[in-house]
Structure formats: structure tokens, C-alpha cells
Amino acid sequence: MCRYNTSNSQFLLRPPDAAGNKQGVKQGCPLSAALYVLAISPLIHRMNNDRHISGTHVVDALRVKALAYADDVCVIIKNQTETDILCSHLKLYEKTAGAKLNHNKTEGVWIGAESDKPDINIQVKPEIKVLGLIICNNECSERNWENKISEIKEDVKKWENKNTNYKSRINIVKTFLLSKLLFLANIFPPSKSTITKLNKQCVNLIWGTKRELLYKKDKTMSQIQTFCTAPFLEMVRALLYKWKVNNQQTDILHDTAAHQRVQEDLVSDRG
């Protein structure tokens, strides 16, 4: 199927005669993503409905077996039998869609006791990356936040010598630092110690010191008021709570303690 009736291509290694496009879409066309979703959806649906793939239980009656983001597909399997079943689904998809599985890029990570680890015919690594996040057997959250803190420190070094006032630096924190934390914080909520470390980096960038409380005493009332409206890491946590409430993603609507945390964390952002 071709979506461009008058589309042509020219090749640098051939005579300059144009060749008509008979099927497919141009690279970078926004339609390609939608078409790929339509193409891969039957495969994901088929794997999720296979009774012989156990997957993992998440919440209530929800059992996750296969997840996909663009052309990255993650499947939860427990043994070689389930691996063979998965391969049969992939072979059927290859025959139908014409796509081919890249075995060199197929890898997995074992989650659980090392003594229970089965022998399967795919390369198993200590850790893998899914959507840029490290997935491993132990200390998964800590590993990801250590990397993110190091990344934030490097960003602070890039901005701290710029000739900007504190209001501009607050906007820099909002735009270039906190925006990098929301996705990770949604998957692995930061601990209080992590929030403290990141807060120090934000304070260091804005005020030129990591001693937050002492330095705030030397500021005028208007400056302190502006400082208090700056969205530091507690707001990240509050925004996540608010998002879950609005989207009814968890039982937070019926959780009194969670409501209290939202009231404590959510601050007015007027900065």
C-alpha cells in the first residue's frame, strides 16, 4: 500500500531518473508510527491471550505478559517452554508482516533467585535497558537514581558559571533539570535521601551553595517568596500523586494517608 500517489525517489548511485514509490511511507512520516502500532497490535494481543505464557501478576486480576513501545517488545517468560511458544508467535508474525527478529539484539534479565534461573536459548545479562531505564535483579531503583544524580550534577556544572540571576536559574531548574526526573520518578519513586541529594544540586545551581537553610536567611523577603515557589523534588512526588488521582491509576482515592501526603507535598507554583 502506498500513501503517496505522486511520490518519487532518486538514487545517488544510479542515473538521475526518478523511481516511483510503490509501497510504504517516507522515513520520518508521522503516519509510520500509527501504521506500526496497527501492525504489531495483533502480535501483542496474541501473546497476552496465550494461556501457556504465564507472565506476572501486577494488581487485582491484571496479568502482564507482553509490552511494546514502538518496535521494542518486552515479554515476561519463566522457562524454555514459554520461550519456544514465544518464538512460534514471532515466526507467525514474521511470515505475515515480513519483519525479522534481530537475534543479536534479543536479550533478557533474570528476576528472582539465582538458584531458580532456568537455561534458555537467549542471552541473559545482569541488566538490560528498557526505555532508557536499567532493569536488573537487585537494587534496580538505586542504580537508576545514581545514574540520574550523576547526570544532574553534570548539567549543574554546565549552567552554574552562566551569568544569570536567580529567577533565570529557577527557570533553568524547572525546564532542564526537573523535566528529566518525571519519567524515572513515575517508574521508581525517589526515596527521601535521593530527594535530598537532588535538592542540594538544585539549590547549588540557584544560590551558589548547598547550604539551603542558612543561605535563605540572607535573602530578602521577596527573594525567599520566589525561592519557595520554585518546584523542587517534593513537587515531583506531589505531581505524581495528583496524576494518579486524576487518572484513577491506584487506590489512592481511598487512601487517607495518600491524601495527606498530597496536601503536604503539593505547593503552589507561582515562580
User: Which residues neighbour 90 within 8 Å (Cβ) at sequence distance 6 or greater?
Assistant: 43, 101
What pLDDT, on the 0 to 100 scale, is given for residue 6?
65
Query: How far apart, in Å, are the Cα atoms of 165 and each of 44, 132, 226, 233?
Result: 51, 33, 12, 21
The arithmetic mean of pLDDT across residues 89-117, rounded, is 85
Asked if residue 42 is part of any domain, the answer here is yes
DSSP H helical ranges for 181-232: 182-187, 192-207, 212-216, 221-228
107-136 pLDDT per residue, tens? 888 888 888 888 888 888 888 888 889 988
167-180 pLDDT per residue, tens? 788 888 888 888 88
Last residue of a domain, one of 83, 108, 136: 136
Domain count, the chain: 2
In the beta sheet, which residues pair with residue 62? 59
Which of the two residues, 248 and 55, has the higher pLDDT score? 55
238-254 pLDDT per residue, tens? 656 666 666 555 444 44
Output the nine-digit C-alpha cell for 43. Answer: 502480535
The arithmetic mean of pLDDT across residues 42-50, rounded, is 91
In the beta sheet, which residues pair with residue 69? 72
Same domain, residue pair 102 and 210: no
pLDDT at position 205 over 80: yes
Output the nine-digit C-alpha cell for 128. Answer: 538490560
Domain of residue 79 covers 2-136
pLDDT at position 52 over 50: yes
What pLDDT, on the 0 to 100 scale, is given for residue 150?
93
